[in-house]
Amino acid sequence: MASSSKTKATKALPDTKDDGDVKAKAIKAHSDTKDDGDIDSCGDCGKVVSRGQKALQCDVCHFWHHIRCEKVCQDVYQFLCEHNEEAGLRWLCRKCQTTYQTVMNSICRLEKAHQRLEDKVACMGEKFDALMKGLDDSKIGQFDSKIDQIQQKIWESTEKCFTEKATHMDEKFEKVLNDLGSCNNSSLQHRFQDDLEEVEEVRRRKTNVIIHGLKEPADGDKDSEHEQDASSIEHLLHELKCDDVSVNSTVRLGKKPAGEDTKPRPIKLVLASEEHKDKVLRGAKNLKYARVNTLDKVFIHQDLTPRQREQRKKLVEELKVRRNKGEQNLIIVKDRILVKRYRGVATQESE
């Protein structure tokens, strides 16, 4: 897919470093599409698409997108710039491509179902015609009334079946059209904003881990409790063979429990980098075999956003149901339930 021609607004902003004339033309074309004070924001990252930046405008949602956000290669981008005035070219962003493909797949399924129904009706008609031809003249008079009854029942049954199927397909098709119609700029902008906020929240948590089951510090002032937690975490990292991991900050989550038998509060550990976080998570898998008894009940996981926790909860519930039905060797890896393979066979997604 490529960009369409646009006399007042260019779809693709050319590389401003190669050709001064092309740059001036692209900047002017981009500027012509904007009112005074109007600002275009990237539909992916939400940042401003300034004049002269490499960006494309979607022909469906009409949002501008940085080519680096859409992962558009330089050759394709240059082609769109060079053929910007051709009316036959269209360019769609990834989200609009997904929506378009979903709608087209639904329409294809409806057409196939309609064709199968017509084939069945035609087959029934052929069988009935064959039955009529197989009866000789002497028997036709004798069974005239019965044949009429059978024919009437066949057509009534066929008409009822066809009407029900057609109504069902019409309802599905109407729903698809309504869903497509609801994808206006306002709803798309709202979805983009939610996605951007989620991406930003994931970015903020990318070096964090949550530690459960680590013993609460003895009662004392805040500095004393913090020192005890720091000592416990240092000992924990030593057991995980992560002495070289740098910790930026630690904080206990929630209000301190009153009784002695209550569960300790979880600790949020902010590490220096994602590499350090990954190393801690890899080592955490062996905590159940820890030589220190107090650490065998400690559990460490990635700091998840509310949306990620909700998705994880659904996966855990699905995992329990499938295990209760007899499925074995199921594990959760990222956002999927997989079947664990042994003896060097790669893990494959469970159907």
Give the pLDDT confidence of 207-254 residue by residue, as tens digits: 999 998 888 888 778 888 888 888 888 888 888 888 898 998 888 888
**Inside any domain, residue 104:** yes
The residues, any chain, with a CB within 8 Å of residue 239's CB and separated by 6 or more, are: 287, 290, 291, 292, 295
Q: Does one domain contain both 219 and 293?
A: yes
Is the pLDDT reported for residue 1 higher than 80? no
pLDDT band at 128 (very low <50, low <70, confident <90, very high): confident
Phi, psi of 107 (to 5 degrees): -65, -40
- pLDDT, residue 185, reads 59
Distance CA 95, CA 49 (A): 18
pLDDT at 208: 92
| pLDDT for res 282 | 87
CA distance 49 to 67: 11
Q: Is residue 151 part of a domain?
A: yes
Q: Please write the tens of the pLDDT for every residue from 254-286.
A: 888 776 667 888 999 999 998 988 888 888 877
How does the average pLDDT of the chain come out, rounded?
Answer: 76
192 has a pLDDT exceeding 80: no
Beta carbons of 309 and 302 less than 8 angstroms apart = no
Q: For residues 37 and 51, is the Cβ–Cβ distance under 8 A?
A: no
**Mean pLDDT for the stretch of residues 148-159:** 78
Residue 133 has pLDDT above 60, yes or no: yes
CATH number of the domain encompassing residue 256: 3.30.70.1820
Q: How many domains does the chain have?
A: 4
192 domain residue, yes or no: no
Distance CA 22, CA 20 (A): 6
Residue 191 belongs to a domain: no
Domain end point (choices 49, 71, 92) = 92
Residue 12 covered by a domain? no
Same domain as 284, residue 234? yes
User: Do residues 42 and 64 lie in contact, with contact meaning Cβ atoms separated by under 8 Å?
Assistant: yes
- Among 62, 92, 122, the domain-final residue is 92
Report whether pLDDT(140) > 70.
no
Most confident of 86-90, 132-136, 178-182, 200-204: 200-204
CATH number at residue 75: 3.30.40.10
**Are both 143 and 176 inside the same structural domain?**
yes
- The domain of 170 spans 99-181
In the prediction, which pLDDT does 86 show?
78
Determine, yes or no, domain membership for 107.
yes
Q: How far apart are CA 117 and CA 109, in angstroms?
A: 12
Q: Is the pLDDT of residue 348 over 60?
A: no
Q: Is 280 a member of any domain?
A: yes
The pLDDT assigned to 292 comes to 62
**Is 118 in contact with 202 (CB distance < 8 Å)?**
no
Helices (H), 285-331: 306-324
At position 59, the amino acid (one-letter code) is D
Average pLDDT over every residue of 26-39: 44
User: 59-90 burial string, b = 16+ CB within 10 Å, else e?
Assistant: bbbebbbbbebbebeeebbeebbebbeeeebe
**Biggest CA-to-CA distance, the chain:** 110
Same domain, 224 and 292: yes
Q: Residue 5: pLDDT above 50?
A: no
The pair of three-digit structure tokens given for residue 68, joined into one six-digit string: 């680096």
* Domain identity same for 285 and 340: no
Strand partners, 65: 56
Are residues 255 and 313 located together in one domain of the fold?
no
CA 38 – CA 336 distance, rounded (Å):
42
Q: Parallel, antiparallel, or unpaired: how do β-strands 299-302 and 208-212 relate? A: antiparallel
Q: Of 89, 48, 82, 84, which Cα lies nearest the Cα of 65?
A: 48
Place of tokens 């009706």: 121
Q: What angle do CA 327, 330, 336 make, to 5 degrees?
A: 120
The residue ranking higher by pLDDT, 53 or 4, is 53
Percent of the chain exceeding pLDDT 90 equals 4
Rounded CA-CA distance 103/97 in Å is 10
Say what the pLDDT of residue 6 is: 32
> What is the reported pTM?
0.45
Q: Domain ends where: 45, 67, 92?
A: 92
Q: Note whether residue 188 is domain-resident.
A: no
The 10s digit of each residue's pLDDT in 292-331 is 666 777 888 888 888 888 888 888 898 899 989 888 888 8
Write the single-letter amino acid at 350: S
167 in Cβ contact with 160 (< 8 Å):
no
Same domain for 290 and 245 = yes
- Structure-model confidence comparison of residues 164 and 142, the more confident one: 164
Q: In the structure, what pLDDT confidence band is assigned to residue 14 with cuts at 50, 70 and 90?
A: very low
Short-list 331, 347, 348, CA closest to 285: 331
DSSP secondary structure string for all residues of 56-67: EE-TTT--EEEH
| DSSP for residue 135 | S
Going by C-alpha positions, the residue among 177, 187, 204 that lies closest to residue 43 is: 187
- Provide DSSP, 81-111: HHTTT-TT-----HHHHHHHHHHHHHHHHHH
Q: Looking at residue 270, what is its pLDDT?
A: 92
Does 148 share its domain with 215?
no
